[in-house]
């Protein structure tokens, strides 16, 4: 696992640098909690899975969000666990990606909590 994560981070860092702009479409309870929290405060802490899928393609995130919300954040490469760039399980022609290239990045969310600002919602 560790060697795959190290290899993934090296590939992402080589392509994008130390951070990458990623998007996540959320719907259902996630979107409702996010919208309600942002309406009240400038920063919301959203409970997330400890690892979640993000994309580098905003239009893909919008498809996943449906009528929910799209989050855009600068993600540190050190938190990326897997990427479509080099991880066989999420490349577009195999595994979870099927035949659609979702430009997927699996991001580790420390403590399962993600801080989101109003500016992060697009």
Give tens-digit pLDDT for 69-118: 999 999 999 999 999 988 876 766 544 545 468 899 999 998 999 999 99
The answer to whether 24 and 53 are in contact (CB under 8 A) is yes
Distance of alpha carbon 5 from alpha carbon 9, whole angstroms: 6
DSSP 8-state class, residue 56? S
- Between CA 41 and CA 79 the distance in angstroms is 26
What pLDDT, in 10s, does the model give residues 34-67?
Answer: 999 999 989 999 888 999 999 999 999 999 999 9
Q: Which residues pair with 67 in a beta bridge?
A: none
Q: What average pLDDT score do residues 20-33 get?
A: 94
For residue 97, the model assigns a pLDDT of 47
Q: Phi/psi of residue 41, each to 5°?
A: -130, 165
Q: How far apart are the C-alpha atoms of 68 and 13, rounded to whole Å?
A: 30
Which of the four pLDDT bands, split at 50, 70 and 90, describes residue 16? very high
């Amino acid at each position: 696992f560790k060697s795959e994560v190290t290899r993934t981070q090296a590939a992402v860092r080589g392509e994008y640098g130390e951070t990458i702009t990623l998007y996540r479409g959320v719907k259902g309870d996630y979107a409702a909690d996010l919208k309600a929290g942002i309406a009240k405060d400038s920063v919301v802490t959203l409970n997330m899975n400890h690892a979640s899928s993000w994309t580098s393609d905003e239009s893909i995130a919008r498809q996943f969000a449906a009528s929910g919300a799209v989050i855009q954040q600068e993600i540190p490469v050190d938190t990326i666990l897997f990427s479509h760039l080099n991880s066989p399980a999420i490349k577009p022609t195999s595994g979870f990606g099927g035949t659609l290239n979702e430009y997927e990045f699996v991001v580790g969310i420390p403590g399962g909590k993600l801080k989101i600002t109003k500016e992060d919602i697009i």
